[in-house]
Structure 1
Amino acid sequence: MSGYFQPSYSAARKAFLRGVGADSRLSWQRTVQHPLHGAEGEKLAMDVAWLGPVNADKLLIVQSATHGVEGFAGSAIQSALLHQCEALPQGTALLLIHAMNPWGFSHKRRVDEAGIDLNRNFVDFNHRPENRGYEEIHSALIPQHWDQASLLQADQRLQDFREVYGAQIYEEAVSGGQYTHPAGLFYGGKAPSWSRVQLEQLAAELRLAERKQVAIIDVHTGLGDYTVGEVICDHPPGSLGVQWAKHWYGTAVTEPFLGTSSSVPKLGLIDFFWHQLLPDRCCFVTLEFGTGSTEDLFNVLRADHWLACQPFGSVSEDLKQQIHQQLLEHFCPAAEDWQQEVIRQGLLRVSQALAGLASL
Structure 2
Amino acid sequence: MNKQERISSVQMTLLFLFFMTGSSIVIVPAPLTNLAGNGAWISLLMALALGMLLLAGVLYLYRQYPKLSLVEQGHLVLGHGATFVLLIPFTCVMFWNVAGIVIEIGTFFKSTMLKETPTYAVNTLFFVTIALTAMAGIEVMARMATILLALMFTFIVLVWVLVANLYHPEYLLPVMPDGIGPILHAAYVVYGFPFSELVVFSIILPFVRSEDTSRLGKHMYVALVVNAMTLVASVICSIMVLGPLSGDLKYSLYQLARLIFIQEIIERIESVIGFSLIIGFYFKASILLLILIRVLKDMLRLKNEKLLAFPVAFICLLLSLTTYTKESELEEVVNITWPLLNNMAYSLPLLLIIVVTFFRSKRNKQQQV
TM-score (norm 2): 0.25
- Between the two structures, name the one with larger relative contact order (CA 8 Å, sep ≥ 6): 2
Task: Say which structure is richer in strand.
Answer: 1
Task: Say which structure is richer in helix.
Answer: 2
